[in-house]
Amino acid sequence: MNYVSPCAACPSKGEGFCGALLGNGKSVSLDEAAGWQRHLLIPAGKPIVIPNQRSPDIYVLCTGWGFRFLQLANGRRQILNFLLPGDLFSASSVFEEHLHFSVSALTAVQISRMRRTEVQSRLAGNPAVVAALAKTCFVETEASDKMIAALGQQSAEERIAHLFLHLMKRVATRSVIRDNRYPLPLRQQHIAEAVGLTSVHVSRILGVFRDRGIADLSNGVLEVINQGDLELLGSLA
């Protein structure tokens, strides 16, 4: 892990909670930001957050993909969600210094660590930032609720379709999508750990999706061939 200067490419300045925190569009001098946030680079596959530790910092992912997960006693793990550029690791971490989950880098990532006390003090005098945080909390809750419903009530095909649709929506807010091709740097094992299946079964179902002309995930790119069918499978309500 190398310390780097604040990243010019960091999209977290533009939108969401992090954007609001940093002035939401108004140009914030990097030097000003540099005083209370630290950027670091982490290579693909490496752990970022270890569970059950107290951290004085809150984390935001700046570039690359990460994932948040719970490590279980039986050796298995459950991926709770994937982190995209601009994402707070967890909204509740703004107030809670004790993190109950783990985070790892899916690709090489750049993350920003900010002092919790500093963020909280900025929160105090700024209703817009509070609103952005509340919104983040709401979005997280809604996504968790839908994930619970997907895991509890949907078949393997439906769960994978649901995950794809969810990720497609999130990816589309951050980059222009052409030809219905979404960058999705997941291994089948990650999909399996996210939707509660084995990677073998995920492989079979991705094969079915290809055969039926619904979608094709290969080489880190999801090509959506028939979005209608995908939504028919993966939508909850």
Across the chain, the runs of DSSP E, i.e. the strands, are 2-4, 37-42, 47-49, 53-54, 57-63, 66-71, 77-83, 98-99, 102-105, 109-115, 181-183, 215-218, 221-224
Closer to its own copies by Cβ: residue 216 or 231: 231
Q: Which of residues 141-160 bind DNA (CB under 7 A)?
A: 155-157
- Locate 168 and state its tokens: 């497609």
223 binds DNA (CB under 7 A): no
Sheet containing 109-115: give its strands across. 2-4, 37-42, 109-115, 57-63
From the list DNA, its own copies, none, pick the one residue 121 interacts with, judged by a Cβ distance below 5 to 8 Å according to partner type.
none
137 binds its own copies (CB under 8 A): yes
219 binds DNA (CB under 7 A): yes
From 18-26, 55-63, 68-76, 211-219, give the range in contact with its own copies by CB under 8 A. 68-76
Residue 33: strand, helix, or coil: helix
From the list DNA, its own copies, none, pick the one residue 200 interacts with, judged by a Cβ distance below 5 to 8 Å according to partner type.
DNA
Residue type, position 113, single letter: R
Residue ranges binding its own copies (CB under 8 A)? 51, 70-74, 76-78, 80, 90-92, 94-96, 100-101, 131, 134-135, 137-138, 140-142, 144-149, 151-153, 193-196, 235-237
